[in-house]
Structure 1
Amino acid sequence: MPGKNKAMEVLLSRASTDRLIAPAPKGAVLMQILSTSLRAPDHGRMRPWRFVTVTGKHRAAFADLLVAAMRRTDPDMKSAKLEKKRVRYAEVPMTIILGMDLHPDAKIPVDEQVMAVAAGAMNVLNALHAAGFGGMWVSGAFQNDETFRKMLGFTREQKIAGFLQVGTVEGRAVTSNRPDIDLYHARWKGDPVAFGADK
């Protein structure tokens, strides 16, 4: 029977959380965490990852930009929801904006380029957890707002895959009940498989 594997324990104990307080990673620690994204599978070496970090006094201005994008995307959105988002992004210790530099005309399908971004983001979430921090990946239709993307420095061709809200987990370690992997795994033996999760 295999012995204890610390890396495996870290991976299996990660869970998303929005219970985040200061501090967030910075300096060499942050750069090491972000560097894990570059270890994700990247067919064709497209290097599609783009990260923008927002911290400190700039959080409030970013929250304003985000809320303005939400208003443009959904003019009927309730003020209470907009204010909740404003407060959240102004107070979370760090937001990492997940940019995607995609090339539709490349030999590598866009779907694979997007998957490389997603795999890189997951590496970052795992690295945050391994380094003693917490994070949660969030997204919304507003992230496609052209004015919003332009104000952040993304070109017309570059997209946003979402936002990692980052900080130190407040209180006890986060736990999350996960389903049994047997529901999502099947052994192929020549005939079509069936998944327990699909029943």
Structure 2
Amino acid sequence: MKASPNTSLLDYLKTRRSTPAFQMCEPGPSKPELEEILRLAIRVPDHGKIAPWRFIVYRGERRAELSAELLKMALENKPDLSAEMIEVERTRLTRAPVVIAVISTAAPHVKVPEWEQVMSAGAVCLNLLMAANAHGYVSNWLTEWYAFDGRALELLGVRDGEKLAGFIHIGSTEFPVTERPRPELAEVVSWDGGDL
């Protein structure tokens, strides 16, 4: 028997939208809210029940400390950064009240292909966005240069053999949420099996 449609979920999915991190402000979620957001986030497809991901939650002053270190690395990589880009680097992890690193721990497994493990980490990222929205916060899934830089990853607590699936920025906003262009279905869908 088919379940009744969840109209509130359908309405949400029709308008789901990321908010740029630089448009975020306080308040962010409290620790109990974050724990609930994380509990919801891990309810994803996970072949083999191996949980091939983990989280690091950056809050408070630690975000500014890490951003200062990332700025140093950015200047070592590009000493001629403009003043504007220096400010961008200085605020990498302070734009939102909370930033959660989703770390893929995907590795060879006797039954579960590594690619499926990686996709499970991606599903966790999307669930984090939606769980934050369900709690009344805006969110954004970002990767930047420091998600692919070995020294930066070590600074951020990512271990050898792990990869960064994304940084989920969570907070509030005073900006209106606007729509962006989406692909037309005809551009991304092919039908195989005749007319329905």
Q: TM-score range by the shorter chain?
A: 0.7 to 0.9
- Evaluate the alpha carbon distance shift between residue 130 and residue 174 of structure 1 in structure 2; reply closer, same or farther with a 3 A threshold: farther
Provide the residue aligned with 2:61 in structure 1. 57
SS at match of 1:155: coil
Identity %: 29
- Evaluate the alpha carbon distance shift between residue 89 and residue 26 of structure 1 in structure 2; reply closer, same or farther with a 3 A threshold: same
Q: TM-score, normalised by structure 1?
A: 0.82
1:13-59 C-alpha deviation (Å, 9 max, x unpaired) = 11111221111112221111112221111112221221111122222
1:119 Cα deviation (Å)? 0.5
* Structure 1 contact 69–142 (Cα < 8 Å) conserved: no
User: 2:179 and 2:188 mapped to 1: Cα distance?
Assistant: 21
Provide the residue aligned with 2:15 in structure 1. 13
* Structure 1 contact 134–168 (Cα < 8 Å) conserved: yes
* Structure 2 contact 125–165 (Cα < 8 Å) conserved: no
Q: Answer with 111-120 or 177-186: which moved more.
A: 177-186
SS at match of 1:165: strand
Please say if 1:147 is aligned against 2:138: no
User: 1:36 and 1:125 mapped to 2: Cα distance?
Assistant: 10
User: 1:77 and 1:144 mapped to 2: Cα distance?
Assistant: 21
1:64 Cα deviation (Å)? 1.6
Structure 2 spans left out of the alignment, 5+ residues? none
Pairs aligned (count)? 188
Q: Answer with 13-22 or 96-105: which moved more.
A: 96-105
Q: If each structure's helix is expressed as a fraction of its own residues, which one has the higher value?
A: 1
User: 1:174 and 1:106 mapped to 2: Cα distance?
Assistant: 45
Q: Answer with 98-107 or 32-41: which moved more.
A: 98-107
Paired amino acid for 1:176:
R
* Structure 2 contact 57–98 (Cα < 8 Å) conserved: yes
Q: TM-score, normalised by structure 2?
A: 0.83
* Superposition pairs of residues 111-190 of structure 1, within 5 angstroms: 111-189=115-193
Counterpart pick for 1:36 among 12, 20, 40: 40
Measured on the aligned residues, the alpha-carbon RMSD in Å equals: 2.4
* Structure 1 contact 49–98 (Cα < 8 Å) conserved: yes
* Superposition pairs of residues 64-83 of structure 1, within 5 angstroms: 64-71=68-75, 74-75=77-78, 78-80=81-83, 81-83=85-87
